[in-house]
Amino acid sequence: MHAVTRSYIGTGASELFNLIEQRRSEVEALLRGVTGFVSYAAFRTPDGGVTVTVCEDKAGTDESIGIARDWVAQNASDLATEPPLVAEGHVIVHLT
């Protein structure tokens, strides 16, 4: 499995997570359509928030990165958020 995190901080980040929460069903439908989707979580931090996507392989997380980028561009461009800090790698432990 492969995971990717997207950390959003600074201007507009809290508002972005408000929007993600308000449009949860739309975000869920998009991410569940990702090839090899395993799980997704979004959580707030003091400076904004972080999303975590786990897929069967890197191709799935790459697809999720593009979906997230496009969704933010189409739905939250007015928030002027900074691009997220992206970290990704091979999953060594995944508990559900």
Q: pLDDT digit string (tens) for 44-90?
A: 999 999 999 999 999 999 999 999 999 999 999 888 788 999 999 99
In one letter, which amino acid is 8?
Y
**Is residue 95 domain-resident?**
no
Count structural domains, the chain: 1
pLDDT of 81 = 83
Do the strands 48-55 and 85-90 form a parallel or antiparallel pair, or are they unpaired? unpaired
Hey, what are 96's tokens?
């559900």
CB 81 within 8 A of CB 10: yes
**Quick one: average pLDDT of 30-56?**
96
**Is residue 54 domain-resident?**
yes
Q: What is the greatest pairwise CA distance in the chain?
A: 38
pLDDT of 80 = 77
Arithmetic mean of pLDDT over the chain: 94
Among all chains, which residue has been given the structure tokens 């995190």? 5
pLDDT of 82 = 87
Q: Provide the pLDDT confidence category of residue 96 given band limits of 50, 70 and 90.
A: confident
**Is residue 74 domain-resident?**
yes
pLDDT of 25 = 96
24-32 helix and 13-22 helix, angle to the nearest 10 degrees: 80
CATH number at residue 76: 3.30.70.100
CA-CA-CA-CA torsion sign (71, 35, 54, 5): negative
